[in-house]
Amino acid sequence: MARRAVVLALALAAVMPLLSGGVDTQQVRLLAAKFNVTCVLVFGDSSVDPGNNNYIATPMKGNFLPYGKDFFRGRPTGRFSNGRLATDFIAEALGYTKAIRPFLHKRLRPVDILHGVSFASAASGYDELTANLSNVLPLSQQLEYFREYKMRLRQIAGARKAENIIKNAVAVLSMGTNDFLQNYYLEPIRPKQYTLEEYQNYLASCMFDDVKTMHSLGITRLVVVGVPALGCMPLVKTLMNQATCVEKYNNLSSSFNSKLNVKLDIARKELGMKVGYVDAYGTVRDAVNNPEKYGLIETSKGCCGTGTVEYGDTCKGMSTCANASKYIFWDAVHPTERMYEIIAGEAVDCLRKQLMG
């Protein structure tokens, strides 16, 4: 056992270079092999949507330049960034693929089914209404597609192996931002029903119900990404006419993340799931306050257009900064590939400490 612990410690130490931009994939793959990690399954919003929205009738798409400018071959895929997302880096670190495919991709390959896909949909949220407002996939529909995925997996691998793949998969859940920015603060329906505090509790309960559904469908390992520092988003700062992070919105992020963690602790105890939590809020705040630590320079605006208001359609065809890898934000809402790489480093560290410790 002691020798095995030393081998694991050496493997886990290889995870940390993700934060500075490099990964010893061979040793990280050893980590995955030791714990029999089979694939990565992704649920959420634009933070983890590699292009599912390309295949549905919604205006919330990112399948045009300058999105994807720094992706492989410089092509837009539907990812709301200049390049890859955190989940792409996680999958690469575990040794599966350099880019996770959307489940709705028309040419999904058996190898994609075996090593993991994303069901995420940009503009979605824990609240079903959030997704309906933009005609995107709510988490309930993402889970329906997961059921379809399981059937396709059984056809490829056989029932017993398919069950084992799901059991040993790592699921990632990343959403919540749109529930506040595209729903509660923009539409009149929820504020008439809930105070802000009550709405946070409602969202946390929705998340817990979805986690229970995931567990019933065979998922035993889950990583939940907290809501980032909403008050540091360039768009929020512009709307609130502030040059620095808006503490009111950051306090909301922190409060909601605390409520998520209470529910996740219940999931660990009542469902027996291995559940990890990624502190995207703390990571973004640290990058804003200490950019040199991560090799960043620009923390206040995005790379697309003016960097203060543009995202989605309004970013289309816009000029961009010379070097996005020095920016936290790609547009006025979404992080750059570099920032996603930093968040991925935190996520893989979370896997190490919370799911495989």
Catalytic residues: 46, 331, 334
SS3 label, residue 301: strand
- Cα angle value 69/22/76 (rounded, 5°): 15
Q: State how far Cα 220 lies from the chain centre.
A: 18
- Cα angle value 289/292/294 (rounded, 5°): 95
Sequence-ordered list of residues with C-beta below 8 angstroms from that of 5, at least 6 positions apart, any chain: none
User: What's the rounded Cα separation, in Å, for the pair 18 and 72?
Assistant: 19
User: What's the rounded Cα separation, in Å, for the pair 153 and 161?
Assistant: 9
User: What's the rounded Cα separation, in Å, for the pair 118 and 349?
Assistant: 21
User: What's the rounded Cα separation, in Å, for the pair 44 and 178?
Assistant: 11
CB neighbourhood size of 59 (10 A): 11
Residue 66: cis peptide before it, omega within 30 degrees of 0 = yes
Helices (H), 217-336: 234-239, 247-266, 280-289
DSSP 227: P
CB contact at 8 A, 357 and 28: no
CB neighbourhood size of 1 (10 A): 5
User: What's the rounded Cα separation, in Å, for the pair 166 and 170?
Assistant: 8
Residue written as token pair 């490829």: 156
User: What's the rounded Cα separation, in Å, for the pair 319 and 159?
Assistant: 50
